[in-house]
Amino acid sequence: MKEGPSIAPVAALAGDPARANMLAALMSGKALTASELANEAGVTPQTASSHLTKLEAGGLIAGVKQGRHRYFRLADEDVAEMLEKMTGVAARAGHTRTRTGPSEPALRKARVCYDHLAGEMGVRMFEALMRARHLSLREGELSLTRSGERFVQGFILDWPNPSRRPLCRSCLDWSQRRSHLAGALGVALLDRICALKWARRARESRAVIFTPAGEAKFNRLFA
């Protein structure tokens, strides 16, 4: 393809194993230091610094300085969505890690996809909102309906929350191969679920851990 944007530089950046591990770690939505990312990638600090410079120059990550430390995060949700889709393609093609960790079932059930809920629980929430006609999909555009506005205002006490991000976006879930909800609304719903203590984000992984009572309430709300 000789016309339009070139995907080769982006593919090369994300395709390196060490950089791929770094990007996967940043899918948690947390900002991490260079030493933390070096540990995730299994490389020396010097090698990690070189990789991070390339990722930042390529527009995949952004650096943020706070105090004496410099932190790195994904550049935006478009990068997160691209990585989620690439993970789905890899899973479908059979390109899996040699060993799956003990958190694998938990990640498939519920996890953070950058800043919104993914996995089985995320897909369940999205499909329940669609069935209840709180969300509408027309010509590829996802929008919140009037009944959806009433639902959200009743569930999220401080809604609406101004944001420059798109309100609703569908994101193809790599483990379920169906869509979950991204965008500002997806972020707000996950934040509310955690604020109600139905669930919490795991410290050492992307997993979202629901309490038994919280899962029951979630299932009633998103039946």
| 90-111 pLDDT tens trace | 878 777 765 444 467 899 999 9
Do β-strands 208-210 and 179-182 pair in parallel, antiparallel, or remain unpaired? unpaired
| 158 has pLDDT over 60 | yes
- pTM of structure: 0.80
Same-domain pairing of 117 and 179: yes
Question: Is 138 contained in some domain?
Answer: yes
Give 127: exposed, middle or buried? Use CB within 10 Å, 0-12, 13-18, 19+: middle
Same-domain pairing of 145 and 194: yes
Average pLDDT over residues 117-141: 95
Question: Is 162 contained in some domain?
Answer: yes
Question: Is 99 contained in some domain?
Answer: no
| 212-223 pLDDT tens trace | 999 999 999 998
Same-domain pairing of 108 and 159: yes
- How far is 122 from 92, CA to CA, in rounded Å? 19
Cβ within 8 Å of residue 52, ≥6 positions away: 22, 34, 37, 61, 63, 72
Question: Is 41 contained in some domain?
Answer: yes
The domain of 146 spans 104-221
| Mean pLDDT, the chain, integer | 89
| 29 has pLDDT over 70 | yes
% of the chain with per-residue pLDDT over 90? 66
Same-domain pairing of 198 and 158: yes
